[in-house]
Amino acid sequence: MLMYSTGGKGVNGTNAPRYMVESDYDYASVVLGLHQEFIELDLFNHGVAKFSEQDFLDAGLTAEDRTFLSYMATQEADHATLLTNMLGESAPKQCIYDYPFTTVREYIDFNIKLTRWGESGNWGFLSHLDSREVSTLLVQAEAVEARQQMIFRQWLGLHPMPLSFVPGIPQSWHWTLLAPYISSCPENNTRIAWQNFPQLTIDNLPNPNRVSPNDTKTDEVVGPRVADPSASNLTDSESCLHNTTLGYDCSPAIAHNRSEPLTFPGRKVFLSWEDPGKAVGPNNSYVTSTSAGAPKFVAWLSQINLTYTPLEVTGQNKGWTWQPPNEVYVGDPAVNGTVFLAVTDSDLYLTPFNLSLINPHVNALGIMIAG
């Protein structure tokens, strides 16, 4: 029998586990997590209701895939029940949402981004919770959320997991990305405690529906919000869906080897960002804010790396930078998968465990699909 003399929390059997939040930090974090579960529950059911079997077939998916999406909604109902029980009677109720997509491809694109910030948002606070019991159950839920994100990437014809690590983000980043898609909430819902940053927009966002993703035009996003999907209404010659040329097909698959990546190191990235003071979120009841100084850098968060590149400011709330070539380990690009970008006033050195210290230095926040 393996014996150990010291160390380990909650392993001596003296206290029965208590699966409830234990502090204001726990409560505010789990409330945010519950809002994420609610929008995923609604979004997955909405996809089944909005799009017909023929719509799915046109996107290269079958009736069985549509049924699979319904099952994902069941998973989210279970997750929402779990988090509600952790919070008790004051747990918030489900809200009304405003979605940006009109086609199945655009729906999947949006799901990739939303499930990524949902998973990364929970990873960001789990190790900081006062309640280890709550953290344990959330980890078990997040294991499923990660699989959902992988499925949506496969449905869009992207590599399912082009990384070795999944980044965690601060709660304020999570709330900034989520809030623009909530229209209204029940009147007595608990108010979210976290900050909303101004929006950062990638003006030349690569389009995963294109044969050549980097040929995108500046107006190829279906709306003005931070995670709105790329337009899918392309001509047959422009679209990679059902393309028969080896290396250029983006139809649903377990994995594709694409001849042209969505993005690449050294690619010039054009950016624009909003001023603080914009009303966002449920009933426009939250206001974006920042305490940062003049914007000087772009922070790239992907995998376990926080990488900075210089920001070349070209006008009022406009500028550009380039995708960095950094690696996590040899042969593993630091920037891959779904990437979080922030315009900052400094290049403060931080690691995954203390990433929230970047918040006072963030001017604006955005997200993009890379790799």
Domain C-terminal end among 157, 184, 211: 184
Which pLDDT tens digit goes with each residue over 67-98? Answer: 999 999 999 999 999 999 999 999 999 999 99
Which pLDDT tens digit goes with each residue over 252-310? Answer: 999 988 888 889 999 999 999 999 999 999 999 999 999 999 999 999 999 999 999 99
Do 335 and 272 fall into the same domain?
yes
Q: How confident is the model at residue 370 (pLDDT cuts 50, 70, 90)?
A: confident
- The overall average pLDDT reported for the chain is 94
pLDDT at 15: 79
Do 172 and 225 fall into the same domain?
no
Which pLDDT tens digit goes with each residue over 97-130? Answer: 999 999 999 999 999 999 999 999 999 999 999 9
Percent of the chain with pLDDT over 90: 89
- Domain membership of residue 162 (yes or no) is yes
pLDDT at 234: 92
Which residues on adjacent β-strands are paired with residue 200? 273
CATH classification of the domain holding 30: 1.20.1260.10
What's the rounded mean pLDDT across residues 363-371? 92
> Which residues form the domain of 356?
200-369
Which pLDDT tens digit goes with each residue over 301-317? Answer: 999 999 999 999 999 99
Provide CB contacts within 8 A for 239, sequence distance 6+: 209, 210, 211, 232
- In the chain, beta strands by DSSP E: 96-97, 182-184, 200-202, 268-273, 279-280, 286-287, 297-302, 305-310, 312-315, 318-322, 338-344, 362-369
* Cβ–Cβ < 8 Å for 274, 198: yes
